[in-house]
Amino acid sequence: MNLTIYLITDDKYFKGRDVLQTIEQALQGGVTAVQYRFKNKTTREMYEELLKIRELTRKYNADLVVNDRVDLALAVEADGVHVGKKDLPPEAVRKIVGDKMYIGYTCNSLEEVKQAQELPIDYIGFGSIYHTSTKENYKLVGLEAFQEAVRISKKPIVCIGGIMPYRVPEVIKAGCRNIATSAGILGFADVKKAAEEFKRAYKETMRMLMLMGKA
């Protein structure tokens, strides 16, 4: 599981763009995992697209995670599946996938993070850290709540929500080691360059923290 720079796809960022070419550019720029999340495609379209993305992620030694759709995740032999409160419960997902893949789960409050410690999941997606344009109905949790979530969770946490390249140092200093983004990479014309900026900011901040003994 390598969710260091975790790209989440979103329909609106692919208008007029080739999906495979765009994802490959992000992978070339340093993305370590891709979560496939599209809402306006048929199951057949998603399956065929996912097969090609599975090849790409293997080529670049990156993880492939499928949002919501456990059936598609199994069909294309994804590395992980991510579910939220309105999806199939993590317990049911675990019964289906066994130990074939890891499971991510969305939390939007510290209380949910505490409850998630007992779930058969492998990581928690926590946010929104900042205001975001990707989701219409989201809950802003902020950096302080994120820091507390890191403190109380025994499971790895992925920070998400409004994280742009220039905010990477701030979230890392707050304890984030796995950063999820859509707009922070896909919101730019040059996707590869945006991913490279993310990677550079991540590496430089981690290097600085290591020198200070805070990593």
Tens of pLDDT, residue by residue over 6-57, are 999 999 999 999 999 999 999 999 999 999 999 889 999 999 999 999 999 9
What CATH number has the domain bearing residue 123? 3.20.20.70
Q: Model pTM greater than 0.85?
A: yes
The whole domain housing 40 covers 5-211
Rounded percentage of the chain residues whose pLDDT exceeds 90: 87
Domain total for the chain? 1
DSSP state of 178: S
- Dist. CA 179–CA 135, nearest whole Å: 17
pLDDT in tens, 75-95: 999 999 999 999 999 999 999
- 77 phi-psi bin (left φ>0, alpha ψ -120 to 50, beta other): left
